[in-house]
Amino acid sequence: MSAETLAELSDLFVVAAVLLYLAAMIGFAVELAFGRARAETRQVRGGARVPVGVGAEGDTPHPGEVAEASGGAVAEGPEPPAWARKAGTVALVIAWLGWAANLTAIATRGLAVDRWPWGNMYEFVVAICFAAVTAFLVAHLRQNIRFLGAFVMVSAALGLGLAVLKFYTVAGPVVPALNSYWIAIHVSAAILASGMFVLAGASGVLYLIRGDGLSRLPSKDDLEKVAHKAIVVAFPLWTFAVIAGALWADKAWGRYWGWDPKEVWSFITWIGYAAYLHARVTAGWRGNKATIVQLVAFACLLFNLFGVNIFISGLHSYADVG
């Protein structure tokens, strides 16, 4: 199969991934919209979990909420219809199909250009979308986080759409600085870490949206746990990516650090997530404060991935943004 044919197949699989992610998003959204509503809970003495506003002197429950502090019963809405649960199951299958299409798009692009397929902004964004969906699907194998499905799928679909409409680059060779085995080490680590940071960012946004009353979103505690676990895994990968980037810079440009905008914002992003983890461990920050810190770090990550390449010129301005 010719390189041109492989490149065309890659483009088609990207479009297929977009459509499948959108279909999965609809299924996840249906399950979330018609699923069971639960009250936000907190821990009380004896290990019982009760809705917020119940169990302390002067507290009053939200309208319609009922709780038994001694038994730990939690207010819940009516049982969701069976078809809503099936919609979520079907959406999960479609998400895996979209993941396979995304992976095939990356593989065929790599075969077409005969190199690691993340040498420009288009390929990099396609890979990050794949990493984000991978993080979601792998995490779902360990715990039920289908409540994040709609948000991860729409993020991946929008990311791929942006890559096709704004960042598309015809398959071809890369600049000499990228023609190195370091691209497989440095960029791969950055892609994997970014995918997990996207999962944490989606959890953080939902944490701030979720109220204390009855809601179809999971508890704030569950959302915070998902975000924290993702960051705990992603942070060492991002640290490795920054170090590997410095080693690659020494090989390519004869210095480890040169205050290039990409280097600076990669380090700022590292500081943001380090501050989040440090605040949790030393100061015991939880809840809104910790979530805001991690979302600030996530904003720095997004600017590093997109803003630096689009708006700031530097040694990393080979991203071919058109």
Tens digit of pLDDT at every position of the chain (322 positions)? 788 899 999 999 999 999 999 999 999 999 888 876 776 665 544 555 555 544 433 343 444 444 444 344 455 666 767 777 889 999 999 999 999 999 999 999 999 988 889 888 899 999 999 999 999 999 999 888 888 999 999 999 999 999 999 889 888 887 776 777 888 899 899 999 999 999 999 999 999 988 777 677 888 888 999 999 999 999 999 999 999 988 988 887 788 888 888 889 999 999 999 999 999 988 888 888 999 999 999 999 999 988 887 777 655 555 555 4
Which residue type sits at 156? A
pLDDT for 228 equals 94
Q: Judging by beta carbons within 10 Å of its beta carbon (0-12, 13-18, 19+), is residue 78 exposed, middle or buried? A: exposed
**Which of 282, 150, 301 is closest to 216 using CA atoms?**
150
Residue 69 lies in a domain: no
- Read off the tokens for 151: 């948000």
Structure tokens, 94: 């479609």
What is the H or E stretch that residue 63 is in?
A: none
Task: Give the pLDDT score at 190.
Answer: 93
Q: For the chain, how big is the Rg over CA atoms in Å?
A: 22
Spatial CA neighbour of 55 closest among 310, 63, 66, 64:
66
Is 200 within a domain? Answer: yes
Question: What's the confidence (pLDDT) of residue 67?
Answer: 42
Per the structure, the count of domains in the chain is 1
* Pairwise CA distance, residues 35 & 219, whole Å: 14
Report the largest interatomic distance among the alpha carbons of the chain, rounded to a whole angstrom.
74
> What is d(CA 127, CA 105) in angstroms, rounded to the nearest whole number?
9
Q: What's the CA gap between 267 and 277, in Å, rounded?
A: 15
Query: Does 7 reside within a domain?
Result: yes
The answer to whether residue 56 is domain-embedded is: no
Helix (H) or strand (E) holding 43: strand 41-43
Task: Give a yes or no: residue 55 inside a domain.
Answer: no
Q: Identify the pLDDT of residue 195.
A: 93
For residue 279, what are the domain limits?
Answer: 3-42+76-311
Domain-located, residue 70: no
Residue 293 has φ and ψ, to the nearest 5°, of: -60, -45
* Residue 71 is assigned to a structural domain of this protein: no
Specify the pLDDT at position 50: 55
Q: Is residue 85 part of a domain?
A: yes
- pTM assigned to the model: 0.84
